[in-house]
Amino acid sequence: MAKKQSFADKASKRSFTKTCPVCGSELHYVKHVKAVKSENGWKYRSLNVGVCKCNEKEIYG
């Protein structure tokens, strides 16, 4: 029979942090919502974007 794993065992095996290939800093994922005008009115586009020191000013304005 297989050995039971606890949630702590499963969570400790994974690394959820990613680094930026350009600057080497840690990426933080945020939801970026953008308003786009269409023929019928306004639509909102949402994207999950990784933010680091390189593109922080572009995303946050």
Tell me what pLDDT residue 15 has.
Answer: 65
Has residue 47 been placed in a domain? Answer: yes
Is 2 part of a structural domain of the chain? Answer: no
Is residue 13 in some structural domain? no
The total number of structural domains that make up the chain: 1
In a domain, 24, yes or no: no
pTM: 0.57
Please report whether residue 10 resides in a domain.
no
Would you say residue 35 lies in a domain? yes
Q: Running along the chain, 61 residues long, what does each successive block of 10 average in pLDDT?
A: 80 76 90 92 93 90 79
Domain containing 48 equals 29-61
Q: Which of 59, 52, 61, 60 is nearest to 28 (CA)?
A: 52
Is there a domain that residue 6 lies in?
Answer: no
- For residue 1, is it within any domain? no
Please state, in angstroms and rounded to a whole number, the distance separating the CA atoms of residues 27 and 29.
6
